Structure 1
Amino acid sequence: MENHGPVLPHGLSPSNQALTRVTLLGCCGLLLALFLFTATLLVFIAQEQNLSAEQHHRLDIDKALQTLASSTGTTLKDYALWGDAYQNLHLKVDLDWAFTRQNFGPTLYRDLGFDAVFVIDAQGATTYALVAGQLAAVDARAWLGQRLDALVEQARQTPAGNPVSRYVSIGGTPALVAADVLSPGNDPQVRADTGPQSVVIFVARLNPPRLLAMGQGLEIQQLQVAPAGPATDLPRLALPDGAGFLQWQPAQPGHQLLVLVMPLLLLVGLLVGVLAAFLLRRTALAAQVMDQQMQALQSGRAALAASEARFRDVAEVASDWIWEVDAKLRLTYLSERFQVVTGLSRDATLGQPLDALLSSEQGTLSQWLAAPDRPARAVLQCTYQDGSRQPRICRLAMRALPEGGLRGTASDITEEVMARRRIEYLSQHDTLTGLANRTRMQEFLEGKLLVSPPLQEPLLMLSIDLDRFKPVNDLLGHGAGDQVLHEVSQRLCRCLRSQDLVARVGGDEFVLVVPGHVTQVEIEGLCRRVIEHIDAPFYVAGHEVFISASIGIARAPADAIQADELLRLADIALYEAKAAGRSTWRFYAVQMNARIVERRRLEQDLRQAIDQGQLQLQFLPRYRLADRRLVGAEALVRWQHPRHGLLGPEVFVPIAEDSGLILPLSNWVLQAACQAALDWPQALPVAVKVSSAEFQRAKLVARVKAALDRSGLAPERLELELTDKLLLDDRRQVLDIMRGLKSLGVRLLMDDFGTGYWGLQHLQSLPLDGLKIDRSFVAGLTGDTAGRSIIQAIIDLGHALSLRVVAEGAQSLEQFEALRDMGCDEVQGLSLAEPLTGEVLGRQLAELAGGWRSMR
């Protein structure tokens, strides 16, 4: 016999023992390295979280200081441009008006939080001082320090309405000091003094209560002024202008992470160590079994041959678990993997018929296997129930055995099949609402039209578009809009039968397909029911939201028998419903298609109208109520169409906005209006409306500047009337564009004030020169007390903000007199003067010298 060396304990050969030792050392080293890496990474993450929290606090405090400076500047601007303040604190000092009547008194301290207010006259003397809400005989220099002179001089060198500010230290307490010159603003009733201007100063100290309140709002602990001396471990933020430092108690989210995670990490390390010991033991046992198998293989070549045949068969198919059945299809072998994958008992399953475990869509497995045309090697998809009684899907691969019976593998493909079904579902349905999408709707519609001939089985299609839905997204966000769309889909489903189809085919567009005989009364009842359901309020994010719906109706076979054509006709009817005032429905009619064709023809004609000189301007005069003199005119564009005659802007401007022609149309109006005004004998301003569709996307500032440069018109003679719809866009960008227009020198008027999205917060922040009262308010002036009160409030509000107030649409002498008595500045109306061409307006200016024409 050959000498195989000494026999080691537990039956291990030298090679297996060495393998076990290497495995032990490798596993221990790997676990130790992994634990140290994880602990180091955790400490690094904790430090990064602490640094990130401190940086976040710095940014929050800096932003809060900027907000304080911005709000202080805005408030100071409002008071500095107040015509009454100019009269009572610059031209003269009226303590009764300023303090007793609280126009410039305690409310600045009590409500707005300004610790001190000073007015410095032209000689540098403090003419008015308010400290802690009380009158004080104190000199501003003694209270604020000698740096006041530089601040006052800087304020006088800066245009009115542009406050300057800086931080100073008052008795060790930092304070924000803002200054601006007193100015009459745009108040036409106040005559400006030509001498040096008085300066008003607002002081807001960063005292402990204010800093604590600021810190609470930012969720920052113990925000306070840093004491003088060496820096501590607390984070610090330097104030501008060397006014000192702020410090706060830093948050330590990283420490909390360590406290929470480190014990868990230690526990996981312990468990992994125990598991590693268990695996090492199993490795030793496996080595022992391997030695025993080797001995068994050497002594039994017949058993080795059978094992090799079995493993060759297994290698031919990919498997999760292996099975064998005898000639009667009873399970005779199941691999150990069977119990892990299926959760079923291996011992309890052996001996059972294959049909008791697996089933197929083709019938029982025994019937399928007995089929004469079944291939020797086959793959079949089957289903079974796992140990939790949940359905599972597997792919069965098999081959016949020479001695009878079958051998094969079973691969679990449940997740693969579910994913494929999910993809098929998503390709047919809208992910937000769960409704059918356009593809599914098209297939459903085509199937109904092909399977059931329309003459025998009519079909109804409703195209639905939501009205007033865009403001929901713009004002409340797309999340709120998604909630509304989901609720709309549920309401639509409640309006229909089970055999009907609801589909979402666009952002806020839905289609209802109703097969079967439906009478006219039933159709109108369905439309009424849909509109009533959608008109009901939606409650989203604490807001009550109201929208409505417009419906277009097309029928097969009455209108069309092709799916695409039916959709097109329903959309045409929907367009008519929206044009009819929305929240209604319209049936498709042949003349609707003619109107669509005419609209497209007008769009094509409008593209050539500018180049062919078909556009013309008329001017609606505007008069000042105080002396009845002509003070300006509004440009109105008309289209001299070759076939339809003279068309007003209400006909073609909406077409221009929808088709993208609004930009060349607006450029023509701007250039023509500026050129016409340049030829007038008097230097009166000309007003031009600006569409919200062109406000942001059309480089408005550059276009206005180009029109002024080409015409040579003085910028202050051009007034741009802005609509409220532009506020639905990015308001920061809107404000930047308005400031750019103001930098050119043009004037900005708010059109149709009170009827849309304009609000008081916008008036305070937007650089406007005036506002126009909508004609709907003026129409109810003489017969409605409430209407008169609204107009009076708008006039008072405009004057308080130093804005010029213009009333449009005045129609009678009583309205003119009432507007004049209420203090309205200017008025325009068709009864006062019809729109005139530029030449006619110029001749009347020369003949009448600006006087008011007599009413017709």
Structure 2
Amino acid sequence: MIPSAPIARLDWRTVLGLTDGDVADISEVRAAQLAAVHRFTIPRLAIELGATLLLFLSLYGYAAGLMLWVWAGITVFAAVAIAAGRLRSRNWSAASRSRRELHDETLRSIFMGALWAVPPVLFASVGGIEQHLSLWTITVALMAASALLLAPVPLATMLFVAMLSASLAAMMILIDLPLIAGACVGLGILLVACCLASGRNFLMRKQAELQLSDRDEVVSLLLREFEDGDADWLWQIDASRSLTHVSSRLAFALGEEALALEGRSFLQMLAGDSWDSGDFPPPLRTLAERLKQRESFSDLMLPVTLKGVTRWWKLSASPRFDEAGVFLGFRGVGSDVTAERQTSEKINHLARFDPLTGLPNRLQVTEALAQALADADQWRSKCAFMMIDLDRFKAVNDTLGHQIGDRLLSRVSERLSALMTASELCGRLGGDEFGVVVRDASDPARILRLGKAIIHELSRPYEVDQHTLYIGASVGTAIGPRDGRSVEMLIRSADLALYRSKDAGGGHYHAYEPQLHAHAEERRVIEIALRKAIEKGEMHLCYQPVVSAEDASLTGFEALLRWTHPEMGVISPAKFVAVAEEARLIAPIGEWVLRTACEEAVRWPSDVRVAVNVSTEQLHDSNFVTSVISALSHSGLPPHRLELEVTESVFMREGSGAVAVLGQILDLGIHLSLDDFGTGYSSLGYLSRTRFSTIKIDRSFVQGAARNAPESLAIVRAIVAMADSLNMTTTAEGVETEEEYLMIRRLGCRKIQGYLFGRPMVDTEARKLFSTLTRSAA
């Protein structure tokens, strides 16, 4: 429904024409006032001429003849001249009139009022009661006629009536009738009040009519545009559910002529071949029920098969009744939303499935585990969660490259899927880590057999691109709700069990135990070492180049944290970052990384940006924004040269305040990047609510696209199109070959990061790149 604008309040100054007030369409209202007056030009002239004749005849022989003839002549001449002027006017029906034209009409009324105010005063002393009564009657009749005919122009009517009322009162005083004089004044006041009220109602009514007319024009325009649209149409059925008034757009959507569709069953047209079998889709049954119950419905989605092709329609409609309440049928609107639904399905698949393996991703696994826990709690049963980590997989990536590693992950997923029954769901959690949700874990022996079978199957040799590969698998299991009553607790318990299996050398199955001493001890040692790592100078930053996809020019570096312990050696960030987050050490470590990266970036050219990874835990630190401001201030690095990278996990905590912190970061002029997009939680809704400047496309998509895998190509295109529509830049990670580079550039990615353009390097090596570029340019 198109809302109508509220009618502006008319004050008395606007009603009298003394001001235009705040009424937007006042010129059109003034035109309506004058048009109403002009329509009564002939009746007014007839009344004035008749009144002049009657008054002349009643006073003839009693009043001085010359004075009577002069008055009558002037009055007749003025009435005829004013009427002729109105009739000759060509713009009396103009769409808009000014306040000055309204005042001209008022002046004419004042002039005629002055002429008619003369007789009661001038001829008060002539004749007898008959002449006085004639004067009184004719004058009162003129006052009443003026109040009736001149109501649309209240000021003119008020002055005309007031002048005649005062004239009559003066006559009554002259003939010594003071009470009648008071009555004349009262009559004048009454007529003036009625005139003002009538005039105000006229103006408000005309204003409402104008607004209604404007709204009707808008509605007509919208309907015409709606009918001319390419995807939407109007539809109408009668009480027997047969099509009537078939629009050209609906006929086009159904693939038939409009005349051929008149009178045909709407439901039968929608059902298609399923009409005879009665095997209708549920949405069509819902539509039939709404039509049967004569209920309104909105945005009802249903599949429609037309000439063997299934389309998706969205319908809305309301029942129609005549004035007697008789049901006439339905009238509604429809649209073809096939493209939107297909896009939604692709995005939903991207959000819930891992693009490399086709398995459910972490989001779907956690949802399935939450449901399994809820069912176990309801039915007093058990569920289980298995975490699977591939052994020696990193060696495959390091020696043969990530392409072989990705193909290996696909083979692993195939073997895992073959082991699953209807009671289990297997998904990829990320990297070389998989998870299995067991909905019914009432038989511990069966869980053990499944764990052993997974290890056995994944340990058999793989043939990948003429390479025979040997890896293994470690499995950790937790039973719910015994080992955890929430998803997070159960996953953590399974993770601790997995660490126990890895500690044993891999290729083992271990169930969660309340005390996992070895694993806890390792984490304790790492935590203790972390607390002194920065102080002892054991940590340093490496920088990996990020280049433009268009010309391979250097646009920035990603700062990567590295830790080399004097006894434990190089410790992977995947291991110590998790410990730092759990031990609440990530804040000082992250602050050092920020400060060091900014101090190094100041030494680079002014157009080179530095990207720093930010942990989810850092965003939950109340001092994080302060530490960012401090790093920029002490280093002198402009905010626009700093980019903070976050992962989708930052949005998993409801009400954590992380989104608000990101907003403060953006307000400082710092850029935000969404890392590993599509491989984790895929919180797509936050892309429209958080102003990311960059989306980083995971390496698995990049390499899948380079292999011309249809799914990866479609996903990369979807991500690029989505980023472009949201004014974001895309960065492709893990580009290692020239073929991958060319493919990614053709797909529209704007930036590239990978071994093809440089491995992570220390700060001095990064600075050498600039001198090399300078010499090359020279």
TM-score between the two structures when normalised by the length of structure 2: 0.38
- Bigger share in helix: 2
Structure index of larger Rg: 2
TM-score between the two structures when normalised by the length of structure 1: 0.35
